[in-house]
Each structure stands twice: as C-alpha cells, then as structure tokens.
Amino acid sequence: MDNFIRVISKFALEGLNAQALQDAALAAKQTLESGSGAGNDFLGWLHLPSSIDEQQLQAIEKSAEQLRSECEYVITIGIGGSYLGAKAVIEALNDHFAAYKSGNGPKVLFAGNNIGEDYLYDLMDLVRGHKFGIIVISKSGTTTEPAIAFRLFKEMLEKQEGKEFAQRNIIAVTDARRGALRGLATQEGYATYVIPDDVGGRFSVLTPVGLLPIAVAGFDIRALVAGAVEMEKDGDEQVLNYAIARNALYQNGKKIEILVNFVPRLHFLAEWWKQLYGESEGKDHKGIFPASVDFTTDLHSMGQWIQDGERTIFETVVSVGDQQHEVIIPSDDEDLDGLNYIAGKNVDYVNKMAELGTRLAHIDGGVPNLLITVPALTERYLGQLIYFFEKGCGVSGYMLGVNPFNQPGVEAYKKNMFALLEKPGHEEATAAIKARLKQ
C-alpha cells in the first residue's frame, strides 16, 4: 500500500483544459512560499510541522498527562479554528462510542462552540460531581461563545473542587500578550500555551490549539506532526493537483464543492475543511461554496439532489483504505433478507462497492469527481491530510485572487449581536439597530 495520500483527478477534468492553470498554480505556490502575497503575516503554519521541536511536544504531553491523571472529563472550550481541528482529529481516531464506554483516560468534551443554553446545562449536569479539567482556547481571548462557557465551567470547577484543583487543571491556549484570556490566565496562574501571531485560527490545529486536546484524548501527536512533515516536504504534487482541479472546475461553473466521506469518522474533518476553505476563499463575492455529506447515510437524503439537481457541483471524495477492525457478514440458512450473496464478505467491502458505484453514478449524472486516497485513518495520515488541505487552501486562494488568510466578513454578525446586547462601547450601533427594527 502506498503510504501517502494522493489526489486522483481522472474523473474530474474531462473536457477541461486544466493544463492551462498549471502556470497560475505554480505562480500561486511561489507567492505563498516566498511570502509575497496578501495576508503574508499569517504564514506561520507553512513551516509549522517541521518547526515543532521536542521541547514543545514534551511540554504538551506533560500537560496532557496532568489532565489525564486527575480528570474524568476534560472540557475543551473554543470555537471555529479554536475547536474544529481538535474535534476533527479526535473523532477520526476515537472509538465511535467512546462517550458510552469506560476507557483509560478522560473523555474529551467540547463547549464554547455554540450558545446553546440547553447544551451548556446538559454538559454542566454531566460533569457535576465528577473531577473535570478545562482547556480554554481563544486566540483573541475575547470571543463571546467560549468566554461564556469558560466563565460557567471555571466557576463550577472552583466551587466543586476548590481553587487549587482548578488552577492545576485549567490550561489556557491564547495569544502571547493580548486579550482578556491572557490577562485572566496570568492572574489565576494557569499553565498557558501560545498561539503564534502568524498562525490564523483555521490553520492552527498543529499548534497547542489542536495538539493539546488531541494528546489529552490519548492520541499520538508525534505521529500526527510527522505525517504533516511528510506532506510539507513531499506533498507539492498533490497540493497542486488539487488546487488546479478545483479552480478549473470553478471556472467552468462548478460553484459548490462537496467533500464526501464514506466513513462516519470523517464527519468532523469535513466540518474543519469547510471552515478552512469557506473562511479562506469566500470573499470579494467569489469562492467555491464548501459543502459536505456523509455517505452512505446522506445518499438517502441528498443523493437525489446530487444525482439530478442543478449541475453546479463537484465532489471530492476522501476515500479511506484500511479500516481498523473487521466485521464479517454472516451466512444465514434461511436467507430471508436475501443477503447471502455477500455473506463472508467484510462490511467495508460492501462500503467500498457503494463508494465506487456512487462515484460512477454521480460522474454519469454530470458531477465531476476528485478522489483523495488516504491509506488509513491513523495519526500519520491525518497529519498528511491536514497539511495537504492547508497548503491546498493557500495555493487555491491565491489562484482565485483573494487574500486566503483574513476573515473580515465574520465581524458583521458580531457587531449586530453586541449592539443588540447593548455591550458598552456599542451605543451608536444599538440606537441604529433599534431604529431599523422599528421601521
């Protein structure tokens, strides 16, 4: 088995002159690597894998061990880029039913990624009376969703286990100097990790933002980083293939890219990918809309649209080679369900045939198909995949002609929300929004 992820564009580019984009892709890659493009103060992620040193890894492992030794639950608080990377990797590696099984080490749960009152209530209810720790992650240190969750769980932990336990088992990941969380962590004496200034949230999974929760969940962050290093060193051909193909398709009217998986483990990788590409490319009224589906589940809901709906989509299938476990379909003497024709086969064989059959059907239906092959869902290949998508995003964004590293649009809802909440400093906006709503 090939030990590298690969991009196969055989069924994506029929009738297109993708070669015409070769020069543009090489120029975009050069812009990225030379740091001469827009947003070049946010390129710290580019050489992040190869620059993580032993000392950093040891420190993260030690903090993870502290939380693992004292806590039944670790609540990871963060949103967007301060949430999705860790969630994606943990879900991709974990037992699907880890939440219901007793295992070694704490259960890693997430908060601050929504403002759901009942969600917070239920989570507080779950950890009440149990020893828990907190990893609070916010680069700006001022984001509302994690700030609310942290205030709640910090107070709860201090009341429940005392200040000393809380101080030992709260770890903050934030900016080196600025922001409310930095000030609070300094005052309370929490262990802290820094999100480098030049690494944006959605590119930060290989910093302590992702590595700490992943290590707490019991996974091998060294292998994850090693996989990313492999892609950093040898992945350019795959990166260029992907960037060229998706830009060629976009220019040919395919405005929506659907990231497809056939294994439930990858659901949150798609969520991470959607943030990475959506926030990076969706600006100046341009950009491929990143969507995702979980097959075969969603074939029974979205399959009709994809097969027959408006032809503005293409699919990128993340195809996983080996499963971790084997489950054989048993033979049945009566065969009332008619399944004996696949008796003796393992379940993944059926899934692979569903995958191939679906790809061919969608191609026949006018949906170009890119394939990304991943040998197995291990730390190493996830590391490769993460770096592949990050660099692909940088190259692709420059090909599109946008700054892939800012996100001015995400402030719009916050301004309105603060005005509506009558946050000090927003008086003028509050008056304006009230007048608008009265009209």
According to DSSP, the β-strands at 73-77 and 132-138 are: parallel
- Where are the strands (E) in 47-106, listed by range? 73-77
Which of 92, 83, 197 shows the shortest CA–CA distance to 140? 197
Q: Report the residue from 76, 113, 143, 238 that binds ligand PA5 according to the rule CB under 6 A.
A: 143
Q: Report the residue from 63, 113, 138, 403 that binds ligand PA5 according to the rule CB under 6 A.
A: 138
Q: Report the residue from 37, 39, 49, 80 that binds ligand PA5 according to the rule CB under 6 A.
A: 80
What are 257's strand-pairing partners?
Answer: 290, 314
Q: Is the dihedral of CA 244, 390, 356, 252 positive or negative?
A: negative
Q: Is residue 85 part of the contact set for ligand PA5 (CB under 6 A)? A: no
Q: Is residue 279 part of the contact set for ligand PA5 (CB under 6 A)? A: yes
| Closest CB to ligand PA5 among residues 71, 195 | 195
CA distance linking residue 89 with residue 268, whole number of Å: 8
Are the C-beta atoms of residues 63 and 171 closer than 8 Å to each other?
yes
Instruction: Kindly list the strands in the beta sheet with 170-174, ordered across the sheet, starting from the edge strand earlier in the chain.
Output: 107-111, 73-77, 132-138, 170-174, 191-194
According to DSSP, the β-strands at 6-11 and 369-376 are: antiparallel
Q: CB-hemisphere CA count at 13 Å for 267?
A: 10
Where does this chain touch ligand PA5 (CB under 6 A) — which range of 47-55, 65-73, 138-146, 290-298? 138-146
| Closest CB to ligand PA5 among residues 139, 182 | 139
* Near ligand PA5 in 343-382, by CB under 6 A: none
Are the C-beta atoms of residues 391 and 34 closer than 8 Å to each other?
no
What are 328's strand-pairing partners?
Answer: 346
Minimum CB separation of residue 76 from ligand PA5 in Å reads: 12
Q: Is residue 208 part of the contact set for ligand PA5 (CB under 6 A)? A: no
Minimum CB separation of residue 153 from ligand PA5 in Å reads: 16
Q: Is the dihedral of CA 422, 426, 431, 436 positive or negative?
A: negative
Q: Report the residue from 37, 85, 133, 200 that binds ligand PA5 according to the rule CB under 6 A.
A: 200
Minimum CB separation of residue 227 from ligand PA5 in Å reads: 22
Where does this chain touch ligand PA5 (CB under 6 A) — which range of 20-28, 64-72, 200-208, 246-254? 200-208
Minimum CB separation of residue 202 from ligand PA5 in Å reads: 4
Q: Is residue 201 part of the contact set for ligand PA5 (CB under 6 A)? A: yes
Where does this chain touch ligand PA5 (CB under 6 A) — which range of 102-110, 135-143, 220-228, 380-388? 135-143
| Closest CB to ligand PA5 among residues 262, 405 | 405
* Near ligand PA5 in 390-429, by CB under 6 A: 407
91 is a catalytic site residue:
no
Are the C-beta atoms of residues 131 and 71 closer than 8 Å to each other?
yes
Q: Is residue 140 part of the contact set for ligand PA5 (CB under 6 A)? A: yes
Indicate which residue of 14, 54, 101, 300 is catalytic.
300
For residue 296, whether the previous peptide bond is cis, meaning omega lies within 30 degrees of 0, is yes
Place of tokens 């394939």: 371
Start-to-end Cα distance in the chain: 65
285 is a catalytic site residue:
no
Residue type, 420: L
- Where are the strands (E) in 80-235, listed by range? 107-111, 132-138, 170-174, 191-194
| Closest CB to ligand PA5 among residues 90, 370 | 90
422 is a catalytic site residue:
no
Q: Report the residue from 13, 16, 79, 212 that binds ligand PA5 according to the rule CB under 6 A.
A: 79
Which positions are annotated as active-site residues? Answer: 279, 300, 414
Which residues contribute to the site for ligand PA5 (CB under 6 A)?
79-82, 138-140, 143, 146, 200-202, 279, 407
